[in-house]
Amino acid sequence: MFSVDQTSYGVKIMFSGAMNKEEMSVWLEESKRITSKLPSKFGVFVDMRNLKPLEAEAQKVLEEGQKHYKIKGMERSVVIVNNPIVKMQFTRLAKQSGIYEWERYIDASQHGDWEKRGEAWLTSSIDPDH
């Protein structure tokens, strides 16, 4: 399951459960529709606290989506996780897609203010790791 919503800073995405290649492809098409309405620079907030690890084919579509967001103007992104396997998987994908430099990860199980910290990274460049 997923949702993609336009926000004041750009886009908020929520992934949860087990997502297959087909559902990830629908997410990519929805993302393309939303990014066509955004300014030239924007932030992306990704809540994947309840996402199960992705299969290889779904990972490929996600990586394509990450590249799409970067090409369309993503300046920064923040990813909220609470599963070390998912965090490790998405760190690898971000490195492969070339967005790791602009992406931060926040473990919601360790930070109760994860949403505030994530939005501060997107809107004010306040690094949640410091």
129 lies in some domain? no
What is the tens place of the pLDDT at every residue in 53-71? 899 999 999 989 989 999 9
Q: Tell me the residue range of the domain where 44 lies.
A: 2-124
> Which pLDDT score is estimated for 111?
85
**Interatomic CA distance for residues 65 and 81, integer angstroms:** 18
58 lies in some domain? yes
Residue 34: CATH number of its domain: 3.30.750.24
130 lies in some domain? no
Largest interatomic CA distance in the chain:
38
Tell me the backbone φ, ψ of residue 16, rounded to 5 degrees. -150, 160
65 lies in some domain? yes
Number of domains in the chain: 1
**Interatomic CA distance for residues 118 and 78, integer angstroms:** 6
113 lies in some domain? yes
Render each residue's pLDDT in the chain as its tens digit; 130 residues: 999 999 999 999 999 999 999 999 999 999 999 999 999 999 999 999 999 989 999 999 998 998 999 999 999 999 999 977 777 887 788 788 777 888 988 989 888 899 999 999 999 999 887 8
Q: What is the pTM of this model?
A: 0.89
